[in-house]
Amino acid sequence: MRTRRRFLRGGTAALAALAVAGTTATVHQKEFDRATGKGEGGASRTGSTAGEPFDETYKGRHIQGWPTDHGHHGTGGGYRVLIDGTELHVMQNGDGTWVSLIDHYEVFATPRALARSAVDNLAGADLVPSPEHS
Amino acid sequence: MAVRKDQSTLTSTERRDFVDALLGVKRSGRYDDFVRTHNEFIMSDTDQGERVGHRSPSFLPWHRKFLLEFERELQRVVPSVTLPYWDWSRDRTPDSSLWGSDFLGGNGRSRDGQVMSGPFANLTGDWSIDTQVDTRPFLRRALGGGGRSLPTRADIEAVLSVETYDAPPWNSTSWSFRNLLEGWRGVNLHNRVHVWVGGHMATGASPNDPVFWLHHAFIDKLWADWQTRHPASRYLPDTPTVNVVDLDSTMRPWNDVTPRDMLDHTRFYTFDTEPSRVP
Protein backbone atom coordinates (compact mmCIF):
# COMPACT_ATOMS: atom_id res chain seq x y z
CA MET A 1 0.00 0.00 0.00
CA ARG A 2 3.00 2.21 0.56
CA THR A 3 3.59 2.28 -3.14
CA ARG A 4 0.14 3.41 -4.00
CA ARG A 5 -0.01 6.08 -1.32
CA ARG A 6 3.29 7.60 -2.39
CA PHE A 7 2.34 7.61 -5.98
CA LEU A 8 -1.03 9.17 -5.40
CA ARG A 9 0.46 12.07 -3.54
CA GLY A 10 1.01 13.37 -7.07
CA GLY A 11 -2.53 14.63 -7.27
CA THR A 12 -6.19 13.92 -7.34
CA ALA A 13 -6.23 13.48 -11.09
CA ALA A 14 -3.94 10.48 -10.76
CA LEU A 15 -6.19 9.13 -8.02
CA ALA A 16 -9.17 9.50 -10.30
CA ALA A 17 -7.31 7.82 -13.13
CA LEU A 18 -6.65 4.80 -10.97
CA ALA A 19 -10.10 4.67 -9.45
CA VAL A 20 -11.91 4.77 -12.76
CA ALA A 21 -9.32 3.21 -15.03
CA GLY A 22 -12.01 1.54 -17.13
CA THR A 23 -13.84 4.79 -17.70
CA THR A 24 -10.62 6.58 -18.53
CA ALA A 25 -9.79 3.97 -21.14
CA THR A 26 -13.21 4.50 -22.69
CA VAL A 27 -12.69 8.25 -22.82
CA HIS A 28 -9.27 7.70 -24.39
CA GLN A 29 -10.77 5.37 -27.00
CA LYS A 30 -13.38 7.98 -27.92
CA GLU A 31 -10.67 10.58 -28.23
CA PHE A 32 -8.67 8.27 -30.46
CA ASP A 33 -11.70 7.58 -32.66
CA ARG A 34 -12.47 11.25 -32.97
CA ALA A 35 -8.88 12.22 -33.74
CA THR A 36 -8.46 9.57 -36.38
CA GLY A 37 -11.82 10.08 -38.01
CA LYS A 38 -13.31 6.76 -36.89
CA GLY A 39 -16.00 8.31 -34.72
CA GLU A 40 -18.93 10.36 -35.94
CA GLY A 41 -18.07 13.90 -36.91
CA GLY A 42 -14.36 13.31 -36.49
CA ALA A 43 -12.00 14.82 -38.98
CA SER A 44 -8.96 12.80 -39.85
CA ARG A 45 -5.79 14.53 -38.84
CA THR A 46 -3.54 12.39 -40.95
CA GLY A 47 -0.73 14.49 -42.26
CA SER A 48 -0.33 16.51 -39.09
CA THR A 49 3.25 17.48 -38.42
CA ALA A 50 2.84 16.11 -34.90
CA GLY A 51 2.95 12.52 -36.16
CA GLU A 52 0.67 9.93 -37.74
CA PRO A 53 -1.93 8.08 -35.68
CA PHE A 54 -1.40 4.38 -35.09
CA ASP A 55 -3.34 1.53 -33.49
CA GLU A 56 -1.83 -1.94 -33.34
CA THR A 57 -1.06 -4.95 -31.20
CA TYR A 58 2.64 -5.22 -30.50
CA LYS A 59 3.97 -8.21 -28.54
CA GLY A 60 0.49 -8.76 -27.17
CA ARG A 61 0.01 -5.17 -26.01
CA HIS A 62 -2.47 -2.70 -27.47
CA ILE A 63 -0.59 0.46 -28.45
CA GLN A 64 -2.28 3.56 -29.82
CA GLY A 65 -1.17 7.07 -30.66
CA TRP A 66 -2.76 10.15 -32.15
CA PRO A 67 -2.13 13.87 -32.55
CA THR A 68 -4.06 16.22 -30.29
CA ASP A 69 -4.82 19.88 -30.52
CA HIS A 70 -3.43 20.79 -27.14
CA GLY A 71 -0.61 19.69 -24.95
CA HIS A 72 -1.09 17.23 -22.12
CA HIS A 73 0.66 17.06 -18.75
CA GLY A 74 2.18 20.42 -19.57
CA THR A 75 4.33 19.11 -22.37
CA GLY A 76 3.00 21.55 -24.90
CA GLY A 77 3.18 18.57 -27.20
CA GLY A 78 0.34 17.57 -29.44
CA TYR A 79 0.38 13.80 -29.22
CA ARG A 80 -0.94 11.08 -26.94
CA VAL A 81 0.20 7.47 -26.63
CA LEU A 82 -1.66 4.68 -24.82
CA ILE A 83 -0.43 1.23 -23.84
CA ASP A 84 -3.37 -1.03 -23.02
CA GLY A 85 -5.41 2.09 -22.40
CA THR A 86 -2.99 3.77 -20.00
CA GLU A 87 -1.33 6.98 -21.09
CA LEU A 88 2.42 7.00 -21.67
CA HIS A 89 3.87 10.47 -21.22
CA VAL A 90 5.59 11.51 -24.44
CA MET A 91 7.36 14.63 -25.63
CA GLN A 92 8.53 15.94 -28.99
CA ASN A 93 12.03 17.36 -29.25
CA GLY A 94 12.84 20.52 -31.14
CA ASP A 95 14.21 18.51 -34.07
CA GLY A 96 10.99 16.48 -34.44
CA THR A 97 12.21 13.32 -32.66
CA TRP A 98 10.43 11.88 -29.61
CA VAL A 99 11.09 10.71 -26.07
CA SER A 100 8.83 9.00 -23.53
CA LEU A 101 8.83 8.71 -19.76
CA ILE A 102 10.05 5.11 -20.13
CA ASP A 103 12.95 6.08 -22.44
CA HIS A 104 13.63 9.67 -21.50
CA TYR A 105 17.27 9.85 -22.59
CA GLU A 106 16.93 8.20 -25.99
CA VAL A 107 15.24 9.69 -29.04
CA PHE A 108 12.89 7.97 -31.48
CA ALA A 109 11.92 8.98 -35.00
CA THR A 110 8.19 8.34 -34.47
CA PRO A 111 5.74 7.90 -31.59
CA ARG A 112 5.09 4.34 -32.78
CA ALA A 113 8.78 3.44 -32.40
CA LEU A 114 8.70 5.00 -28.94
CA ALA A 115 5.60 2.99 -27.97
CA ARG A 116 7.13 -0.27 -29.18
CA SER A 117 10.32 0.39 -27.22
CA ALA A 118 8.23 1.07 -24.10
CA VAL A 119 6.48 -2.30 -24.57
CA ASP A 120 9.88 -3.99 -24.86
CA ASN A 121 11.03 -2.24 -21.69
CA LEU A 122 7.87 -3.05 -19.74
CA ALA A 123 8.33 -6.79 -20.36
CA GLY A 124 4.69 -7.41 -19.54
CA ALA A 125 4.38 -4.96 -16.64
CA ASP A 126 1.67 -2.31 -16.63
CA LEU A 127 2.28 1.41 -16.87
CA VAL A 128 1.43 3.49 -13.82
CA PRO A 129 -0.58 6.57 -14.85
CA SER A 130 1.69 9.62 -14.66
CA PRO A 131 1.03 12.06 -11.82
CA GLU A 132 -0.42 15.36 -12.92
CA HIS A 133 1.71 18.38 -12.23
CA SER A 134 0.94 22.03 -12.18
CA MET B 1 35.68 21.40 3.18
CA ALA B 2 33.87 18.38 1.77
CA VAL B 3 35.77 16.47 -0.90
CA ARG B 4 33.97 14.51 -3.60
CA LYS B 5 36.02 11.47 -4.57
CA ASP B 6 36.27 9.06 -7.47
CA GLN B 7 34.14 6.10 -6.38
CA SER B 8 36.91 3.64 -7.35
CA THR B 9 39.19 5.13 -4.67
CA LEU B 10 36.78 4.82 -1.72
CA THR B 11 37.84 2.70 1.24
CA SER B 12 35.59 -0.14 2.33
CA THR B 13 34.47 2.04 5.26
CA GLU B 14 33.58 4.91 2.92
CA ARG B 15 31.64 2.54 0.70
CA ARG B 16 29.71 1.19 3.67
CA ASP B 17 29.00 4.67 5.05
CA PHE B 18 27.67 5.84 1.68
CA VAL B 19 25.36 2.82 1.39
CA ASP B 20 24.17 3.28 4.98
CA ALA B 21 23.40 6.94 4.31
CA LEU B 22 21.41 6.07 1.15
CA LEU B 23 19.40 3.45 3.01
CA GLY B 24 18.76 5.93 5.84
CA VAL B 25 17.43 8.61 3.49
CA LYS B 26 15.26 5.99 1.79
CA ARG B 27 13.88 4.79 5.12
CA SER B 28 13.04 8.36 6.16
CA GLY B 29 10.83 8.82 3.08
CA ARG B 30 12.87 11.78 1.86
CA TYR B 31 14.58 9.81 -0.90
CA ASP B 32 11.36 9.57 -2.85
CA ASP B 33 10.83 13.33 -2.65
CA PHE B 34 13.92 13.60 -4.85
CA VAL B 35 12.72 10.95 -7.29
CA ARG B 36 9.36 12.67 -7.55
CA THR B 37 10.87 16.12 -8.07
CA HIS B 38 13.14 14.85 -10.83
CA ASN B 39 10.27 13.05 -12.54
CA GLU B 40 8.08 16.16 -12.44
CA PHE B 41 10.77 18.35 -13.96
CA ILE B 42 11.66 15.87 -16.68
CA MET B 43 8.00 15.68 -17.74
CA SER B 44 7.49 19.44 -17.76
CA ASP B 45 10.80 20.67 -19.23
CA THR B 46 10.07 21.08 -22.95
CA ASP B 47 12.03 22.42 -25.89
CA GLN B 48 9.13 24.65 -26.86
CA GLY B 49 8.14 25.85 -23.36
CA GLU B 50 9.51 26.63 -19.95
CA ARG B 51 12.52 24.46 -19.16
CA VAL B 52 14.64 24.39 -16.04
CA GLY B 53 16.07 21.00 -15.06
CA HIS B 54 16.81 19.55 -18.48
CA ARG B 55 17.34 20.44 -22.16
CA SER B 56 18.25 24.00 -21.18
CA PRO B 57 21.21 26.06 -19.93
CA SER B 58 20.21 25.51 -16.29
CA PHE B 59 20.60 21.72 -16.65
CA LEU B 60 24.03 22.05 -14.97
CA PRO B 61 23.29 24.52 -12.12
CA TRP B 62 19.90 22.83 -11.47
CA HIS B 63 21.51 19.43 -11.00
CA ARG B 64 24.36 20.95 -8.93
CA LYS B 65 21.75 22.35 -6.52
CA PHE B 66 19.72 19.12 -6.62
CA LEU B 67 22.84 17.09 -5.70
CA LEU B 68 23.77 19.53 -2.92
CA GLU B 69 20.32 19.14 -1.37
CA PHE B 70 20.60 15.37 -1.62
CA GLU B 71 24.14 15.34 -0.19
CA ARG B 72 22.81 17.25 2.84
CA GLU B 73 20.18 14.55 3.38
CA LEU B 74 22.91 11.89 3.28
CA GLN B 75 24.93 13.88 5.81
CA ARG B 76 21.97 13.99 8.19
CA VAL B 77 22.34 10.21 8.37
CA VAL B 78 26.16 9.90 8.20
CA PRO B 79 27.81 13.32 8.65
CA SER B 80 31.12 12.34 7.04
CA VAL B 81 29.56 11.24 3.74
CA THR B 82 30.06 13.12 0.47
CA LEU B 83 28.82 12.16 -2.97
CA PRO B 84 31.36 10.08 -4.89
CA TYR B 85 31.54 10.40 -8.65
CA TRP B 86 31.62 7.69 -11.32
CA ASP B 87 34.08 8.30 -14.16
CA TRP B 88 32.34 6.03 -16.64
CA SER B 89 35.06 6.63 -19.23
CA ARG B 90 37.38 4.56 -17.00
CA ASP B 91 35.11 2.22 -15.00
CA ARG B 92 33.25 1.13 -18.10
CA THR B 93 32.20 -2.49 -17.64
CA PRO B 94 29.65 -4.35 -15.50
CA ASP B 95 32.66 -5.97 -13.78
CA SER B 96 33.66 -2.66 -12.17
CA SER B 97 33.78 -2.60 -8.36
CA LEU B 98 31.07 0.09 -8.64
CA TRP B 99 28.61 -2.75 -9.23
CA GLY B 100 29.94 -4.88 -6.37
CA SER B 101 27.54 -6.44 -3.87
CA ASP B 102 29.10 -4.27 -1.11
CA PHE B 103 28.34 -1.09 -3.05
CA LEU B 104 25.68 -0.46 -5.69
CA GLY B 105 24.97 -4.11 -6.48
CA GLY B 106 24.98 -5.81 -9.82
CA ASN B 107 23.20 -5.97 -13.14
CA GLY B 108 19.56 -6.88 -13.55
CA ARG B 109 18.68 -10.45 -14.46
CA SER B 110 17.67 -10.95 -18.06
CA ARG B 111 14.10 -12.13 -17.45
CA ASP B 112 12.74 -8.94 -15.87
CA GLY B 113 15.72 -6.67 -15.25
CA GLN B 114 15.52 -7.17 -11.51
CA VAL B 115 18.71 -6.36 -9.57
CA MET B 116 19.35 -9.44 -7.43
CA SER B 117 22.52 -8.55 -5.50
CA GLY B 118 23.72 -5.75 -3.24
CA PRO B 119 22.03 -3.40 -0.76
CA PHE B 120 19.46 -2.11 -3.28
CA ALA B 121 18.06 -5.44 -4.40
CA ASN B 122 14.34 -5.56 -3.59
CA LEU B 123 14.76 -8.88 -1.80
CA THR B 124 16.75 -7.12 0.97
CA GLY B 125 13.52 -5.39 2.00
CA ASP B 126 15.36 -2.06 2.15
CA TRP B 127 14.81 -0.73 -1.36
CA SER B 128 11.32 -0.81 -2.80
CA ILE B 129 10.52 1.33 -5.82
CA ASP B 130 7.82 3.65 -4.47
CA THR B 131 7.82 6.33 -7.16
CA GLN B 132 7.07 4.24 -10.19
CA VAL B 133 6.63 4.50 -13.91
CA ASP B 134 5.33 0.93 -14.07
CA THR B 135 4.02 -1.64 -11.63
CA ARG B 136 7.31 -3.40 -10.93
CA PRO B 137 8.40 -2.72 -7.29
CA PHE B 138 12.06 -3.72 -7.74
CA LEU B 139 15.14 -1.83 -8.93
CA ARG B 140 15.96 -2.67 -12.55
CA ARG B 141 19.13 -2.43 -14.65
CA ALA B 142 20.35 -3.65 -18.04
CA LEU B 143 24.02 -2.63 -18.02
CA GLY B 144 25.27 -2.21 -21.56
CA GLY B 145 22.01 -3.58 -22.95
CA GLY B 146 21.78 -3.83 -26.71
CA GLY B 147 25.59 -3.87 -27.01
CA ARG B 148 25.87 -0.20 -26.11
CA SER B 149 29.15 1.25 -24.85
CA LEU B 150 29.96 4.10 -22.48
CA PRO B 151 31.61 7.31 -23.69
CA THR B 152 35.41 7.31 -23.90
CA ARG B 153 37.91 9.85 -22.60
CA ALA B 154 38.27 11.05 -26.20
CA ASP B 155 34.51 11.71 -26.26
CA ILE B 156 34.85 13.75 -23.06
CA GLU B 157 37.75 15.74 -24.51
CA ALA B 158 35.74 16.53 -27.63
CA VAL B 159 33.00 18.06 -25.47
CA LEU B 160 35.32 19.87 -23.04
CA SER B 161 36.97 21.58 -26.01
CA VAL B 162 33.77 23.48 -26.90
CA GLU B 163 34.19 27.07 -25.72
CA THR B 164 30.61 28.30 -25.77
CA TYR B 165 28.57 27.39 -22.68
CA ASP B 166 25.20 27.43 -24.43
CA ALA B 167 23.53 28.95 -27.46
CA PRO B 168 20.10 29.75 -28.91
CA PRO B 169 17.58 28.22 -29.05
CA TRP B 170 18.73 27.09 -25.58
CA ASN B 171 17.23 23.61 -25.85
CA SER B 172 17.97 20.07 -27.09
CA THR B 173 18.87 21.39 -30.54
CA SER B 174 21.62 23.77 -29.40
CA TRP B 175 25.25 23.28 -30.45
CA SER B 176 27.05 24.14 -27.24
CA PHE B 177 29.12 22.71 -24.40
CA ARG B 178 25.99 22.25 -22.27
CA ASN B 179 24.01 20.36 -24.89
CA LEU B 180 26.91 18.19 -26.03
CA LEU B 181 27.53 17.30 -22.38
CA GLU B 182 23.82 16.65 -21.80
CA GLY B 183 23.91 14.51 -24.93
CA TRP B 184 21.11 15.62 -27.25
CA ARG B 185 23.78 16.51 -29.85
CA GLY B 186 27.26 15.29 -30.72
CA VAL B 187 29.05 12.29 -29.19
CA ASN B 188 26.41 12.15 -26.40
CA LEU B 189 27.80 11.92 -22.87
CA HIS B 190 25.16 12.27 -20.11
CA ASN B 191 22.15 10.80 -21.92
CA ARG B 192 24.13 7.84 -23.21
CA VAL B 193 25.15 6.81 -19.69
CA HIS B 194 21.50 6.78 -18.54
CA VAL B 195 20.67 4.52 -21.49
CA TRP B 196 23.72 2.27 -20.88
CA VAL B 197 22.62 1.56 -17.29
CA GLY B 198 19.08 0.93 -18.49
CA GLY B 199 16.15 -0.04 -16.26
CA HIS B 200 15.10 2.82 -14.01
CA MET B 201 18.07 4.96 -15.08
CA ALA B 202 16.58 5.15 -18.59
CA THR B 203 13.30 6.59 -17.28
CA GLY B 204 12.13 9.91 -15.89
CA ALA B 205 12.29 8.32 -12.42
CA SER B 206 16.03 7.68 -12.83
CA PRO B 207 17.02 8.70 -9.25
CA ASN B 208 15.39 5.43 -8.14
CA ASP B 209 18.83 3.96 -8.94
CA PRO B 210 21.51 5.30 -6.55
CA VAL B 211 23.98 5.40 -9.44
CA PHE B 212 22.07 8.49 -10.59
CA TRP B 213 23.96 10.55 -7.96
CA LEU B 214 27.40 9.20 -8.93
CA HIS B 215 26.69 9.80 -12.62
CA HIS B 216 25.55 13.37 -12.03
CA ALA B 217 28.44 14.05 -9.63
CA PHE B 218 30.76 13.26 -12.55
CA ILE B 219 28.75 15.39 -14.99
CA ASP B 220 29.02 18.16 -12.39
CA LYS B 221 32.79 17.64 -12.22
CA LEU B 222 33.03 17.89 -16.01
CA TRP B 223 31.35 21.29 -15.75
CA ALA B 224 34.04 22.35 -13.23
CA ASP B 225 36.75 20.92 -15.51
CA TRP B 226 35.31 22.88 -18.44
CA GLN B 227 35.39 26.10 -16.38
CA THR B 228 39.05 25.53 -15.56
CA ARG B 229 39.82 24.97 -19.21
CA HIS B 230 37.87 28.00 -20.46
CA PRO B 231 38.24 30.73 -17.83
CA ALA B 232 36.97 33.38 -20.25
CA SER B 233 33.75 31.49 -21.01
CA ARG B 234 30.69 32.12 -18.88
CA TYR B 235 27.17 30.90 -18.25
CA LEU B 236 24.75 31.92 -20.98
CA PRO B 237 22.24 33.46 -21.42
CA ASP B 238 23.17 36.37 -19.15
CA THR B 239 20.17 38.49 -20.08
CA PRO B 240 16.45 37.71 -19.60
CA THR B 241 15.36 35.06 -22.10
CA VAL B 242 11.87 33.66 -22.59
CA ASN B 243 11.25 30.19 -21.06
CA VAL B 244 14.91 29.90 -20.00
CA VAL B 245 16.75 30.58 -16.72
CA ASP B 246 19.33 33.30 -17.31
CA LEU B 247 22.37 33.86 -15.11
CA ASP B 248 20.54 35.89 -12.46
CA SER B 249 17.04 34.41 -12.50
CA THR B 250 15.95 32.00 -9.80
CA MET B 251 15.38 28.32 -10.48
CA ARG B 252 12.34 26.29 -9.52
CA PRO B 253 11.63 24.46 -7.24
CA TRP B 254 13.85 26.38 -4.78
CA ASN B 255 13.11 29.89 -6.11
CA ASP B 256 15.93 31.37 -4.05
CA VAL B 257 18.94 30.20 -6.02
CA THR B 258 20.27 31.39 -9.40
CA PRO B 259 22.74 29.86 -11.83
CA ARG B 260 25.25 32.51 -10.68
CA ASP B 261 24.99 31.13 -7.12
CA MET B 262 25.99 27.70 -8.43
CA LEU B 263 28.93 28.68 -10.66
CA ASP B 264 31.67 28.19 -8.07
CA HIS B 265 31.50 24.66 -6.65
CA THR B 266 34.37 25.38 -4.23
CA ARG B 267 31.89 27.31 -2.07
CA PHE B 268 30.39 23.90 -1.27
CA TYR B 269 32.96 21.16 -1.98
CA THR B 270 36.11 20.35 -3.89
CA PHE B 271 37.07 17.35 -5.96
CA ASP B 272 39.85 14.90 -5.13
CA THR B 273 41.66 16.10 -8.27
CA GLU B 274 41.97 19.65 -6.91
CA PRO B 275 44.30 21.10 -4.27
CA SER B 276 42.54 21.05 -0.92
CA ARG B 277 41.39 24.41 0.38
CA VAL B 278 40.94 25.79 3.85
CA PRO B 279 37.46 27.27 4.26
In this predicted model, what pLDDT tens digit does every residue of B58-79 receive, in sequence order?
A: 999 999 999 999 999 999 999 9
Residue B90 has pLDDT above 60, yes or no: yes
The answer to whether the CB atoms of B43 and A125 lie below 8 A apart is no
Q: pLDDT higher for A40 or B267?
A: B267
pTM of the full structure? 0.89
Q: pLDDT higher for B194 or A1?
A: B194
Q: Do the Cβ atoms of A39 and A33 come closer than 8 Å? A: yes
Measured distance CA(A86)–CA(B215) in Å, rounded: 31
Q: What is the mean pLDDT of residues B16-45?
A: 97
**Rounded alpha-carbon distances, angstroms, from residue B114 to B35, B118, B166, B168:** 19, 12, 38, 41
ipTM: 0.94
Average pLDDT, chain A: 73
A123: which chain B residues are within 8 Å (Cβ-Cβ)?
Answer: 111-113
| Diameter of chain A measured on Cα atoms | 45
Q: What is the mean pLDDT of residues B44-50?
A: 96
Residue A39 has pLDDT above 80, yes or no: no
Q: Kindly state the percentage of chain B with pLDDT values over 90.
A: 96
Q: B interface toward A at CB cutoff 8 Å?
A: 32, 36, 39-40, 42-44, 46-49, 55, 111-113, 128-137, 169, 171-173, 183-184, 190-192, 194-195, 202-206
Residue B231 has pLDDT above 90, yes or no: yes
Average pLDDT, chain B: 96
Best residue in A7, A8, A104 to probe B by mutation, most B CBs within 10 Å? A104
Kind of pairing between the strands at A79-83 and A61-67: antiparallel
Best residue in B30, B43, B51, B54 to probe A by mutation, most A CBs within 10 Å? B43
The answer to whether the CB atoms of B36 and A9 lie below 8 A apart is yes
pLDDT tens per residue across span B120-135: 999 999 999 999 999 9
Residue A73's pLDDT is 46
